[in-house]
């Protein structure tokens, strides 16, 4: 289980994300004014990579907008992932950490699929060795086979799509990481096929009641 250290990070998570957000195609704000608003973690079986599904609210446009920012924390640069780097930070216990957009890190994608398949247990965002029972995942269609591979990753105004194909069976799926959170029952926007699976979790702006939203969804790729 991942250990949550009570220590400092310099720069902090919100500072790193605030500098990175304006360049993202799904960000609709101005100069980010961020606050923490929830999330959860998954464990890396190898114990090397920190995996966090973070929610921040941005108040730059007046009404706070919740954004979902999955990140990975690594103790060394990830080869070939320069474009996915959010930034580096000095951790009070672990030293220099490289922080990446998790949608472009194969470890996070693997563990998110494991969560959807029921093979990973969601962990509390800020407590060590603590299961988060408020995170729900389910498959409504055929599971994605273990032989499926990441074909490409692309971000647009509706989120980040990880396109998966199965070389053995020929199927294809879209694993969409929702960015601007909406209700868990709302239909996806943009080019999307039938819903096959989803992950929902809670988020809450400071001082407000928690709300449930869809953090990720699996759809059969259009035309597959």
pLDDT in tens, the chain (224 residues): 666 666 677 798 999 999 999 999 999 988 999 999 999 999 999 999 999 999 999 998 878 899 999 999 999 999 999 999 999 999 877 779 999 999 999 999 999 999 999 999 999 998 888 999 999 999 887 778 878 899 999 999 889 999 999 988 778 899 999 999 986 655 556 556 788 899 999 999 877 899 999 999 998 875 43
Collapse the DSSP code of 143 into the 3-class scheme (helix H, G, I; strand E, B; otherwise coil) and give the result: coil
Which phi and psi angles does 181 have, rounded to 5°? Answer: -70, 145
pLDDT at 221: 74
Which phi and psi angles does 216 have, rounded to 5°? Answer: -150, 155
Collapse the DSSP code of 116 into the 3-class scheme (helix H, G, I; strand E, B; otherwise coil) and give the result: helix
Please, which residues have CB within 8 angstroms of residue 5's CB and are 6 or more apart in sequence? 91, 92, 93, 94
Complete edge-to-edge strand list for the sheet that includes strand 95-101 = 9-10, 85-91, 95-101, 65-74, 50-58, 34-42, 123-124
Nearest-angstrom CA–CA distance, 186 and 191: 15
pLDDT at 191: 56
The domain segmentation of the chain, as residue ranges, is: 9-220
Phi-psi bin for 159: left (phi > 0), alpha (psi -120 to 50), beta? left
Maximal CA-CA distance, the chain: 50
Which of 135, 148, 63 lies closest to 106, judged by CA? 148
Q: Give the count of beta carbons closer than 10 Å to the beta carbon of residue 193.
A: 16
**Six-digit token pair at 188?**
């996806």
Q: What is the CA radius of gyration of the chain?
A: 17
């Amino acid at each position: 289980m991942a250990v949550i250290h009570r220590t400092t990070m310099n720069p902090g998570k919100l500072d790193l994300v605030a500098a990175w957000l304006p360049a993202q195609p799904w960000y609709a704000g101005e100069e980010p004014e961020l606050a923490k608003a929830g999330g959860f973690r998954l464990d890396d079986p190898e114990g090397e990579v920190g995996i966090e599904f973070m929610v921040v609210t941005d108040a730059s446009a007046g009404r706070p907008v919740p954004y979902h920012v999955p990140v990975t924390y690594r103790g060394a640069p990830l080869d070939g992932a320069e474009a996915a780097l959010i930034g580096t930070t000095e951790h009070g216990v672990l030293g220099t950490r490289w922080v990446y957009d998790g949608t472009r890190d194969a470890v996070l994608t693997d563990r998110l699929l494991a969560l959807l398949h029921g093979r990973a247990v969601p962990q509390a965002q800020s407590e060590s060795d603590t299961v988060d029972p408020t995170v729900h995942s389910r498959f409504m269609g055929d599971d994605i086979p273990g032989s499926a591979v990441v074909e490409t990753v692309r971000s647009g105004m509706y989120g980040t799509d990880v396109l998966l194909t199965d070389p053995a069976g020929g199927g294809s799926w879209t694993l969409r990481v929702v960015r601007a959170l909406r209700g868990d029952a709302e239909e996806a926007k943009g080019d999307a096929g039938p819903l096959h699976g989803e992950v929902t979790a809670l988020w809450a702006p400071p001082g407000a009641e928690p709300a449930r939203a869809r953090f990720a969804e699996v759809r059969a790729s259009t035309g597959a």
